[in-house]
Amino acid sequence: MPTVARPDILFLVLDTQRLDRLSCYGYPRPTSPHLDAIAAQATRFTQAVAAAQWTVPSHASMFTGLYPSEHTMVQSYSVLPDTLPTLAERLAAGGYYTAGFCNNPLVGVINNGLRRGFTSFLNYSGLLTTRPNQAGSRSGLMGRYRQWFKGRLARLLQGVQDAFARSDTLLALSFTPLMVPLWQTALSFKGNSQKSLEDTANLLIDRPGVGAEQPIFAFVNLMGTHMPYHPPRSYIEAFAPHVLADRQAQSFLQRFNSDVYGWLAPLTGALDDHQKRTLDGMYDAEVAYQDALLGNFFHRLRQTDRLDHTLVIICADHGEHLGEKELMGHSLSIYNELVRVPLIIRDPARPDRWGHSVDQVVSTRRLFHTVLTAAGLANPTEQALALEHPQTGEPGGDHDYVFAEAIPPQNVVNLMQKRQPDLVRRRDCDRIRRAIWMGQHKLIETEGGQAELYDVLVDPAEALDLSAILPENVEVLQDCLQGFAHRSDQSLAQAGVGRASGYDDPEVQRRLADLGYLED
């Protein structure tokens, strides 16, 4: 096995992928044989926590190493502050060729700063997709005119898409029944996973435009498991066969796929068993189809010996509610269905770590520090937060807590306020939710509401709220969580590497030790 000093780095985000639907994490259905094979030659994190419950803030946390209230990318109209260097910018400055292959329009289309630092960024969703080597692909005056026209058209369409992301009125219009088919078609909402993976493999293998000794950082976002659900028939036959013969299931699925608003809002009642079975089966079919595409992709890397020269990081930005707790989609909650995500790291230089699992709670924001450390570009503070120490392979950092924030997308809340104000009020849809993990406990606090306490090891489905049983634990974790909430008042640069204010208070430390969260 080669020693890889400056490896290629593949940062693969499986958008909307639930941890509990992958067979390498114990799911009984064979949804992910190809990811299972990668996980068998990697370190598998069993308690990885996304910093946020939806795409924009979660990606921003992975790209900056900061929590959402620190980087401030918490709305669809947010723009990343220029003062915050992105992961791609740091890597590009350090000599990496940085390339993005993105299927999510919120990352690849909206002009929000998440594309900063990429030498090449290819978008596979939206009104105008991009493809490799567009510039110069046609020679002569006519070719240059076509490229000029295409560039102008791209800027115009990007402006239209930006407007829809930032305007409540246009967003509401796009969710009307008449507009939904046009909206889904025009945005190519789930992109083109197969094409994006082919282009990624071509870059890593053929290396066009890359220096002879230059390493590559390739960021890939796949949207295969995001709604709507349209997997190939063979995968429906394998995972949801009843849908093919059951008109009731077909009717429900058609309504579900076309009801974009229904992807965002809480349910007014629980799904029945038949509806739940249909959604579960179709989601599993999408997971399995995406896994097959990944299998072909990794096969190409193995066949050309590139896999053993590439640090592979596979994670999700968030999960998905499929009716659990009467919730759908990923707009509002901070339950495990959304924020407990898969994380697999295959380091070709550390085969001794292959097959290991890490059971401590870690934040995906630390992928920023992990990548910089692997690239040899991290400072000592950043190295301490790397998820795998460059020498030992053990999880780095001495933090005893992890946080996550669910700040509701305001335009989604505004839409719900217009349609179902009582539901917004009853389910606190407009309230910020924050969570802290410490030891085996997770505390959720809803702004202005009650706290919930769960045992993350015994009760990963969060079925039993322990807050009334363990009030002392609730109180001390609330102190830590409130300290974190106040930390956003500090400077962003300091907040990114500091400890939560209040956490180091001697009295808080004593109480944490008394409750078993800290060693004496």
Per-residue pLDDT in tens (0 to 9) along the chain, 520 residues: 444 568 999 999 999 999 999 999 999 999 999 999 999 999 999 999 999 999 999 999 999 999 999 999 998 889 999 999 999 999 999 999 999 999 998 898 788 999 999 999 999 986 556 654 333 333 455 544 544 554 554 555 555 555 555 555 655 555 555 555 555 554 457 889 999 999 999 999 999 999 989 999 999 999 999 999 999 999 999 999 999 999 999 999 999 998 888 888 999 999 999 999 999 999 999 999 999 999 999 999 999 999 999 999 999 999 999 999 999 999 999 999 999 999 999 999 888 888 899 999 999 999 999 999 999 999 999 999 999 755 544 555 445 789 999 999 988 898 899 999 999 999 999 999 999 999 899 999 999 888 999 999 999 999 999 999 999 999 999 999 988 887 653 433 343 333 333 445 565 555 445 554 454 4
Helix (H, G, I), strand (E, B) or coil at 254: helix
* φ, ψ for residue 343, nearest 5 deg: -150, 120
Cβ-based neighbours of 322, under 8 Å, separated by 6 or more: 276, 279, 280, 283, 328, 337
CA–CA gap between residue 62 and residue 90 (Å, rounded) = 13
Q: What pLDDT is stored for residue 500 in this prediction? A: 36
> Using an 8 Å Cβ cutoff, are 222 and 292 in contact?
no
Of 14, 58, 222, the C-alpha closest to 125 is 222
Buried/exposed code over 459-482 (b: 16+ C-beta within 10 A; e: otherwise)? ebebeeebbeeeeebbebbbbbbb
> Using an 8 Å Cβ cutoff, are 346 and 42 in contact?
yes
Of 419, 379, 339, 405, the C-alpha closest to 175 is 419
Cβ-based neighbours of 152, under 8 Å, separated by 6 or more: none
CA–CA gap between residue 24 and residue 158 (Å, rounded) = 39
Whole-angstrom CA distances from 348 to 6, 72, 309, 473 are: 11, 35, 6, 41
* φ, ψ for residue 48, nearest 5 deg: -80, 140
Q: What pLDDT is stored for residue 215 in this prediction? A: 98
> Using an 8 Å Cβ cutoff, are 434 and 334 in contact?
yes
> Using an 8 Å Cβ cutoff, are 409 and 54 in contact?
yes
CA dihedral (378, 383, 387, 389) positive or negative: positive
Q: What pLDDT is stored for residue 125 in this prediction? A: 83
CA dihedral (3, 396, 355, 204) positive or negative: negative
User: In the chain, where are the structural domains located?
Assistant: 8-438
Asked if the peptide bond before residue 228 counts as cis, ω within 30 degrees of 0, the response is yes
The H or E element containing residue 357 is strand 357-358
- In degrees, to the nearest 5, what angle opens at C-alpha 440 toward C-alphas 489 and 325? 80
The H or E element containing residue 97 is strand 97-102
At 222, list the tokens.
Answer: 């796949």
CA–CA gap between residue 243 and residue 236 (Å, rounded) = 8
Q: What pLDDT is stored for residue 483 in this prediction? A: 85
100: which strand partners? 121, 219
Whole-angstrom CA distances from 60 to 71, 137, 255, 511 are: 7, 33, 33, 34
CA–CA gap between residue 370 and residue 384 (Å, rounded) = 9
CA–CA gap between residue 302 and residue 309 (Å, rounded) = 10
CA–CA gap between residue 413 and residue 427 (Å, rounded) = 12
> Using an 8 Å Cβ cutoff, are 317 and 13 in contact?
yes
Q: What pLDDT is stored for residue 162 in this prediction? A: 55
Buried/exposed code over 365-393 (b: 16+ C-beta within 10 A; e: otherwise)? bbbbbbbbbbbebbeeebbbbbbbebeeb
Helix (H, G, I), strand (E, B) or coil at 373: helix
Helix (H, G, I), strand (E, B) or coil at 284: helix
Virtual CA dihedral for 260, 261, 264, 269, nearest 10 degrees?
-120
CATH 3.40.720.10 is the classification of domain 8-438: yes
CA–CA gap between residue 372 and residue 370 (Å, rounded) = 6
The residue behind tokens 């009307």 is 176
> Using an 8 Å Cβ cutoff, are 447 and 351 in contact?
no
CA–CA gap between residue 474 and residue 447 (Å, rounded) = 15
Of 345, 342, 344, the C-alpha closest to 390 is 345
Of 344, 239, 342, 339, the C-alpha closest to 286 is 239
CA–CA gap between residue 406 and residue 217 (Å, rounded) = 29
> Using an 8 Å Cβ cutoff, are 260 and 177 in contact?
no
Determine the length of the chain. 520
CA–CA gap between residue 87 and residue 370 (Å, rounded) = 10
The predicted model scores a pTM of 0.86
